[in-house]
Amino acid sequence: MPKKYHIHTETTPPRFVPVEKGTILDWEGGCLRCFKCVKRKCIFGAYNKRTFDTKQLSDTIDNICRNCLICVQSCPGQVITKVMNPEYERMGNAYWTPDIISRQWYQAETGSIPVSGAGYPGPFSGPGFDDMWTDMSEIVRPTRDGIHGREYINTAVSLGKKLPSLVFDDHGEAILDTPSEIEIPIPIIFGILPFGSLGPDVHLAMSKAAAELDTLIEIPAEAWDKDLEKFKDHMIPVIRSGQVERYRDLISKVKVVEINDSKGCEAIIKTLHKTHPDVILMVRTPLGNNCRERAQKLVEAGAGIIHVFADRDGNVDMEGKIWFVKDVVRKVHDHLVDMGIRDCVTIIASGGIAMAEHVAKAIVCGADAVAVDIPLLLALECRMCLRCERGLSCPVEIQNAHSQWGKTRIMNLIGAWRNQILEVLGAMGLREVRRLRGEVGRAMFFEDLEAQTFGKLFGKRIDSAKEEKQ
Amino acid sequence: MATPRNNTAEFPQVVRTPDRFRNAIGKYRLRRSSACVACGKCAEVCPYGVHKKQLNKMAKPRHYLCVGFCCNKCVEACPEKALSLESNPVTKMIGDYRWTSDLLISTWYMSETGQIPPGDIEYKVGNSGGGFDKLRFNFVKEPCEDPSRDLDMTKFSTRVPLNRLDDGRGDVSIGIPVYGGGMSFGSISLYTMVGRARAWKAWDSFTCTGEGGYPEALYPYDDHVITQIATGLFGVREETIQRVKIVEFKYAQGAKPGLGGHLLGDKVTPEVAKMREAVPGSSLFSPFPFHSVYSVEDHKKHIDWVKEMNPKALVSVKVSTPTDVDMVAVGSYYAGAHIIHLDGSYGGTGAAPDIAKKNIAMPIEYAIVKVHNFLKEEGIRDKITVIASGGCRTAHDVAKAIASGPTVWS
């Protein structure tokens, strides 16, 4: 049995006071000055441990408060209340909800799996990744003793081109011209950050984390510098297809190189395959119209990895309709399966991967692995205010974060994510993340369940949006 | 089998039991400004007892009794314009999509008064946008506020027989199609356990001990206790199995399907440890699954074992909801179970990771229909009792679940 893979995590507090969901209001004005002040009774010490951060002009009481509401319910003068923090509600967007953002902060700080209390608090189902559930195996499964004593579940995936079959020469000898392959211990690589107040320390933090996790990190070829040289085994330089010649030296240093898809891409793949036979060729191609056929062409041209991407909220504009990333990945996967070439190539998906469950779900829908981007920024305390995109300063000064601090935060986040992937795999009785790929039979989809359950009774389901219009 | 009829007279009387806290949380909040002259007009007009005059001044309003803008009488009646009404901002901090603040507040109100809350508070459905929250009843006649006043209660029975096998075992039935699901000693305190036992006894129903032993304080309630044999076998003894009318085999829990249980070390007090035969302060894990059950035959062996030990008890099998839950249910029937208990993913424990509660296994709404139809096709639906749990919040959820298949809710 190979050595058990383990991600080291350690508590790494944020540098700035995080934005909390709620905020305590107390009106000193109505206070009766009674001797039994409920503030003294707070079991979490919210009222006496609070401090004032002079830099951010913010009180830490809300970070200590655990929302038990005993003070609100007990104050004789009824002068204490707790309300929603408007700053919290404003964070992110409809896809990157405040809850998602603050959960990633929690994981980056503690390295622990989020546990939120009794019951499941969210909507029944929803768009995107929320319209599917993963299966569990009731009785037959490998033996495991709870989270801490579980036996080895392998989360490694191998990236690169694979031969569809053995080829023999005239003498009956196998021609063993196997293409290079790389194995990473988690089905996650680090993608290019779409925004952010970035500096050399941010890239360094990500590279250090990628190296320690033994995974890969995409980096624009233009951003390559000497400091990153020592991480070259974990680097995927991303090169625009017109500039391949310019980066020949760089390509010969690394194990994987990524090219932005363009018209002449097939020819470039073929040339690079000849000049750098040991380098794994990865092509970055958008999901959208003709992406199925495009993926097929790239496989035929000899690409080892296809990185398909949606926009940052996971949306894909295809055939005059907005699709969600997982549904399009499923189409690409199915198409390659139909063509009999799915196993020749690795598919990496990105766009809208915001939580650990999304990794598992993207893999169920046919990806081999995913590239994460925004969650890495969230690990560095990003609030998704997008001021950086408007050229304004970053409220949490990401560019000044120390690379060691950033590294442990990212390690914590990925460690927590991996544990959650293990939960999903464990519940299904799977011992290999590779076996999850394309296993839609191990998932339950909202539309299917609705049709099976209520279809017989009530007929076809009407789109709720349409229903409202009518 | 004829269903024994119950009459409402045997059910417990309502005893008004207010919140332990001074300021119970309500949907609305009233503010009284310093312009108040304590004339007591508001107390006169309020039909809900929100305002009260104490000597020569007004007491703080009891906000949680206020029904809000649909009444507004005190605000209009105040001669000094000292009162203002607003939505309580705290409601945004409590509750979630499934358990909305309205559902929480209305449940508190019903617990205190035994009455359906007046006003515009939503006490029937949550805001999850699916499942029970999307299902609606097609009432022939709109339900009235106080059924005991308008309906002939002797014509209704809520009693449900649990043993449908006709195998000479106990003719067990329950007074209402609801019982208190498994909560172990350790996860909850002895006070809570005994409180639950008393309440469920009063309703001629059951409370389940969960996996954590059978505290002596529950002995007086033996006939209203279901004891659990779960994978960790904590606190399971021959003697405890012999005490009860129903024994429950827990394969999995809906909130953490396929993951097993975990009692944090802090909760393993000396008393809890003694009951579970464990070391105080050490975390206790219930593994998943039963390491001795890998087939229906193994399963039957365990059921036979319980039946042998307690010749009167019914056997219930609690499973969570994989895609093949229908097969599991049929398998349990053929293994000799009286009751199949389906535990869906959206309910339950706080000790489960969010990812498990949200994603793993199917919501109970689907599982019920799936199992019900499959048992019917197999021709054995009338031979087995189906219990459902995992995400039941209101009386309406219970009715919806029963309408779509099972007989009892936990």
B233 or B9, which is more confident? B233
Q: Which of B98, B295, B366 sits opposite A120 (nearest CB)?
A: B98
| Distance separating alpha carbons of residues B248 and B172, to the nearest angstrom | 14
pLDDT value for B4: 46
Helix (H) or strand (E) holding B388, with range, is strand B385-389
Task: Flag whether pLDDT at A63 surpasses 70.
Answer: yes
Q: What is the CATH T-level fold of the domain B28-87, as seen in this structure?
A: Alpha-Beta Plaits (3.30.70)
Instruction: Write out the DSSP string of B248-280.
Output: EEES--TTSTTT-EEE-GGG--HHHHHHHTS-T
Provide the shortest C-alpha distance from residue B137 to chain A (in Å). Answer: 13
Q: Where in chain B is the domain with CATH 3.20.20.70?
A: 158-409
Using DSSP's 3-state secondary structure scheme, residue B156 falls into coil
Structure token digits, residue B69: 């803008």
Number of structural domains chain A divides into: 2
Residue A429 placed within a domain = yes
Phi/psi for B225 (5° steps) reads -120, 135
Provide the shortest C-alpha distance from residue A367 to chain B (in Å). Answer: 19
Task: Flag whether pLDDT at A394 surpasses 80.
Answer: yes
Q: pLDDT tens for residues A214-272? A: 999 999 998 888 888 899 999 999 999 889 999 999 999 999 999 999 988 999 999 99
pLDDT value for B390: 85
The answer to whether B328 and B299 are in contact (CB under 8 A) is no
Contacts of B130 in chain A (CB under 8 A): 123-125, 446
Q: What is the mean pLDDT of chain A?
A: 89
Task: Flag whether pLDDT at B151 surpasses 90.
Answer: no
Instruction: List A residues 443-462 in contact with B (Cβ-Cβ < 8 A).
Output: 444, 446, 449, 452-454
For β-strands B339-343 and B385-389, DSSP reports them as parallel
Provide the shortest C-alpha distance from residue A126 to chain B (in Å). Answer: 8
pLDDT value for A148: 47
Mutate to test the interface with A, among B288, B291, B320 (most CBs of A within 10 A): B288
pLDDT value for A193: 93
The answer to whether A371 and A307 are in contact (CB under 8 A) is yes
Contacts of B290 in chain A (CB under 8 A): 139
pLDDT value for A467: 46
Provide the shortest C-alpha distance from residue A20 to chain B (in Å). Answer: 12
Size of interface A-B (CB pairs under 8 A): 210
Contacts of A141 in chain B (CB under 8 A): 258, 289
Task: Flag whether pLDDT at B90 surpasses 70.
Answer: yes
Averaging pLDDT over each range in A103-117, A345-359, B22-36, B257-271, which range is the top one? A345-359
Provide the shortest C-alpha distance from residue A155 to chain B (in Å). Answer: 17
Contact B320 A138 (CB under 8 A): yes
Contact B365 A453 (CB under 8 A): yes
Task: Flag whether pLDDT at B410 surpasses 90.
Answer: no
Residue A131 placed within a domain = no
Residue A384 placed within a domain = yes
Indicate if A186 and A298 belong to the same structural domain: yes
pLDDT value for A139: 60
Residue A226 to residues A140, A200, A230, A250, Cα–Cα distance (Å) = 53, 11, 8, 11
Task: Flag whether pLDDT at A465 surpasses 60.
Answer: no
Residue of B nearest to A78 (CA): B23
Q: How confident is the model at residue A169 (pLDDT cuts 50, 70, 90)?
A: confident
Task: Flag whether pLDDT at A199 surpasses 60.
Answer: yes
Q: Give the count of beta carbons closer than 10 Å to the beta carbon of residue B119.
A: 17
Domain of A36, CATH number, reads: 3.30.70.20
Among the ranges given (A436-450, B102-116, B257-271), the one the predictor scored with the smallest mean pLDDT: B257-271
Contacts of B259 in chain A (CB under 8 A): 146-147, 423, 426-427
Contact of A34 with chain B, judged by CB distance below 8 Å, is answered with no
Phi/psi for B203 (5° steps) reads -90, 5
Q: What is the CATH T-level fold of the domain B158-409, as seen in this structure?
A: TIM Barrel (3.20.20)
Q: pLDDT tens for residues A122-165? A: 899 989 999 999 988 776 554 444 444 556 788 999 999 988 88
Helix (H) or strand (E) holding B106, with range, is helix B101-113
Structure token digits, residue B105: 């507040």
Contacts of A125 in chain B (CB under 8 A): 129-130
Q: How confident is the model at residue A101 (pLDDT cuts 50, 70, 90)?
A: very high
Task: Flag whether pLDDT at B265 surpasses 90.
Answer: no
pLDDT value for A271: 92
Indicate if A35 and A169 belong to the same structural domain: no
pLDDT value for B150: 67
Contact B259 A145 (CB under 8 A): no
Indicate if A76 and A223 belong to the same structural domain: no
Residue A468 placed within a domain = no
pLDDT value for B251: 85
B6 or A14, which is more confident? A14
Q: pLDDT tens for residues B52-76? A: 998 889 998 999 999 999 999 999 9
Residues of chain A with pLDDT > 90: what percent? 67
Please compute the mean of the pLDDT values over residues B233-260 and round it to a whole number: 86
Contact A120 B346 (CB under 8 A): yes
Residue of A nearest to B128 (CA): A123
Contacts of B250 in chain A (CB under 8 A): none
Among the ranges given (A278-287, A409-418, B279-288, B328-337), the one the predictor scored with the smallest mean pLDDT: B279-288
Structure token digits, residue B130: 């699916």
Please compute the mean of the pLDDT values over residues A11-25 and round it to a whole number: 93
Structure token digits, residue B248: 């429950």
Q: How confident is the model at residue A469 (pLDDT cuts 50, 70, 90)?
A: very low
Structure token digits, residue B216: 């002596």
| Distance separating alpha carbons of residues B399 and B158, to the nearest angstrom | 11
Contacts of A135 in chain B (CB under 8 A): 322-323, 360-361
Contact B356 A137 (CB under 8 A): no
pLDDT value for B105: 95
Domain of A334, CATH number, reads: 3.20.20.70
B361 or B262, which is more confident? B361
Task: Flag whether pLDDT at B408 surpasses 50.
Answer: yes
pLDDT value for A457: 72
Task: Flag whether pLDDT at B40 surpasses 60.
Answer: yes
Phi/psi for A446 (5° steps) reads -50, -50
Among the ranges given (A116-125, A376-385, A434-443, B328-337), the one the predictor scored with the smallest mean pLDDT: A116-125
Burial B269-281 (b: 16+ CB within 10 A, else e): eeebbebbebeee
Residue A6 CA to its chain's centroid (Å): 19
Three state DSSP letters for chain A: CCCCCCCCCCCCCCCCCCCCCEEEEECHHHCCCCCCCHHHHCCCCHHHHCCEECCCCEECHHHHCCCCCHHHHHCCCCCEEEEECHHHHHCCCCCCCHHHHHHHHHHHHHCCCCCCCCCCCCCCCCCHHHHEEECCCCCCCCCECCCCCCCCCECCEEECCCCCCCCECCCCCECCCCCCCEEECCCEEECCCCCCCCCHHHHHHHHHHHHHHCCCEEEEHHHCCHHHHHHHHHEEEEECHHHCHHHHHHHHHCCEEEEECCCCHHHHHHHHHHHCCCCEEEEEEECCCCHHHHHHHHHHHCCCEEEEECCCCCEEEECCEEEEHHHHHHHHHHHHHHCCCHHHCEEEEECCCCCHHHHHHHHHCCCCEEEECHHHHHHCCCCCCCCHHHCCCCCCCHHHCCHHHHHHHHHHHHHHHHHHHHHHHHHHCCCEHHHHCCCHHHEEEHHHHHHHHHHHHHCCCCCHHHHHHC
Indicate if A279 and A388 belong to the same structural domain: yes
Task: Flag whether pLDDT at B139 surpasses 50.
Answer: yes
Indicate if A168 and A83 belong to the same structural domain: no
Please compute the mean of the pLDDT values over residues A85-99 and round it to a whole number: 94
The answer to whether B124 and B143 are in contact (CB under 8 A) is no
Indicate if A306 and A381 belong to the same structural domain: yes
pLDDT value for A155: 92
Residue A466 placed within a domain = no
Contacts of A120 in chain B (CB under 8 A): 98, 255, 345-347, 354, 357-358, 391
Provide the shortest C-alpha distance from residue A355 to chain B (in Å). Answer: 9
Q: Please choose, from the candidates B318, B303, B311, B296, the residue with its C-alpha nearest in 3D space to the C-alpha of residue B385.
A: B318
Indicate if A193 and A275 belong to the same structural domain: yes
| Distance separating alpha carbons of residues A251 and A256, to the nearest angstrom | 8
Residue A142 placed within a domain = no
Please compute the mean of the pLDDT values over residues A178-190 and round it to a whole number: 93
pLDDT value for B333: 94
User: The domain containing residue A30 runs over which residues?
Assistant: 22-90
Indicate if A84 and A169 belong to the same structural domain: no
Q: Give the count of beta carbons closer than 10 Å to the beta carbon of residue B164.
A: 17
